[in-house]
Amino acid sequence: MKRILITGGAGFVGSHLCERLLNEGNEVICLDNYFTGRKSKIVHLMDNPFFEVIRHDVTMPYFIEVDEIYNLACPASPIHYQQNPIKTIKTSVLGAINMLGLAKRTGAKILQASTSEIYGDPELHPQPEHYWGHVNPIGIRSCYDEGKRCAESLFVNYHESNDVRVKIIRIFNTYGPKMEPDDGRVVSNFILQALQNKDITIFGDGMQTRSFQYVSDLVEGMIRMMNTTDDFIGPVNIGNPTEFTMLELAKNIIQLTQSKSNLVYMPLPEDDPSQRQPDIRLAKEKLNGWEPQIDLQEGLKKTISYFKEIISEN
């Protein structure tokens, strides 16, 4: 049995990771300040004596003896990370420093949930890990993008200078059950709008692309990455390479929900990346043939069922 700390454990991805690692017989400590996370996502785990929950902000140091740390604490949706940009930077940078310090003192292995936002609005398509990216350092997304880029630098430097056992994964757009209805990201927005026959809000002309990964595929990739040998630190892309335009996504969701919604076109937010698709060859090679198992149709159906339940409860 390993003792594992998950920062951001009450969030969308973190709550799935807590559940999976507990089910595998580990002791799991979930640390969260509930900025975008909710106790309701982890309440069903609280009867398990091997699960602990700590209300704490990663911008402040925290000490605990653990074997592994998954560092997920950080709002991921543009509307949430732009709400308080300075806090977002502090969460990424001070959070990384505090958790790396903990890993250094305890000898724990630590995995950073980095992001495809490292690549900004990419000029190289699909994006391999060796691409340095195309990020506006002073734009509205920079608090998130540059915060995560600085965190990657900290991870690499703690490894080089202090022998900390680090792992970096770059996560591409992930969706699934346990997303918050007010999350603001595209999949949850479109599904909720479609289920309620409300207008579907397409930003820009809807021709920008994303590649959507179902959450269980991400969790599998994270755990495989944590279990690689110490000489492989990444970064490694974890995402589903099948690429869609936002218009295709909207039409797909309308069809699956048999919705009467209309499409409405709204201004494209500043610096919105025009395309995004992971090159996952490195993940396949290093993570024992890891590749996504759930395609968009199947993943959307599961996510639609979840949001139907949420709507019926309210």
46, β-bridge pairs: none
Which residues from 112-171 bind ligand NAD, rule CB under 6 A? 113, 115, 171
CA 141, CA 283: separation in Å to the nearest integer? 26
Exposure of 67 by Cβ count < 10 A (0-12 exposed, 13-18 middle, 19+ buried)? Answer: middle
67-86 residues in contact with ligand UDP (CB under 6 A) are: 78
Single residue of 113, 202, 215, 225 touching ligand UDP by CB under 6 A? 202
- Burial bucket for residue 171 (CB in 10 Å: 0-12, 13-18, 19+): buried
The only residue of 58, 96, 280, 304 in contact with ligand NAD, by rule CB under 6 A: 58
Q: Is 189 in the site for ligand NAD (CB under 6 A)?
A: no
CB of 43 to ligand UDP, least distance (A): 26
Provide the minimum distance between the beta carbon of 263 and ligand NAD in the complex, in angstroms, as a whole number: 23
> For 34, how many CA atoms within 13 A lie in the half-sphere containing its CB?
8
Tell me the C-alpha distance between 151 and 88, whole Å: 12
> Is 13 within 8 Å of 74 (Cβ atoms)?
no
173 binds ligand NAD (CB under 6 A): yes
Distance between CA 213 and CA 216 in Å, rounded?
9
Strands across the sheet containing 166-171: 51-55, 27-32, 3-7, 68-71, 109-115, 166-171, 236-238
User: Considering only residues 26, 127, 142, 174, which one is a binding residue for ligand NAD as defined by CB under 6 A?
Assistant: 174
Say which entry of ligand UDP, ligand NAD, none residue 208 contacts (CB below 5 to 8 A, set by partner kind).
Answer: ligand UDP
Question: 265 catalytic, yes or no?
Answer: no
Which amino acid is present at 208? Q
> Is residue 173 part of the contact set for ligand UDP (CB under 6 A)?
yes
Q: Could you say whether residue 187 binds ligand NAD (CB under 6 A)?
A: no
Does residue 75 have a cis bond before it (omega within 30 degrees)? no
Provide, rounded to whole angstroms, the least separation between the CB of residue 22 and ligand NAD. 17
Question: Using CB under 6 A, which of 50, 131, 203, 306 touches ligand UDP?
Answer: 203
Which residue from 188, 172, 6 is spatially nearest to 79, judged by alpha carbons? 188
Residue type, 236: V
Q: Give residue 141's identity as a one-letter amino acid code.
A: R
The pattern of x and - marking residues 256 through 285 that bind ligand UDP according to CB under 6 A reads: -------------x--x-------------
Does residue 189 bind ligand UDP (CB under 6 A)?
Answer: yes
Cα–Cα distance, 55 to 48 (Å, whole number): 18
Tokens for 213, please give them. Answer: 């990964």
Find the shortest distance in angstroms from Cβ 240 to ligand NAD.
11
The single residue of 70, 144, 158, 214 carrying the catalytic annotation is 144
Region binding ligand UDP by CB under 6 A among candidate stretches 46-54, 55-63, 104-112, 183-191: 183-191
The CA distance from 309 to 312, in Å, is: 5
Residue 303 lies near ligand UDP (rule: CB under 6 A): no
User: Which residues are near ligand NAD by CB under 6 A?
Assistant: 7-8, 10-14, 32-37, 57-59, 72-76, 91, 95, 113, 115, 171, 173-174
Chain residues that interact with ligand UDP, rule: CB under 6 A: 78, 173, 185-186, 189, 201-203, 208, 210, 246, 269, 272
Annotated active-site positions, please? 144
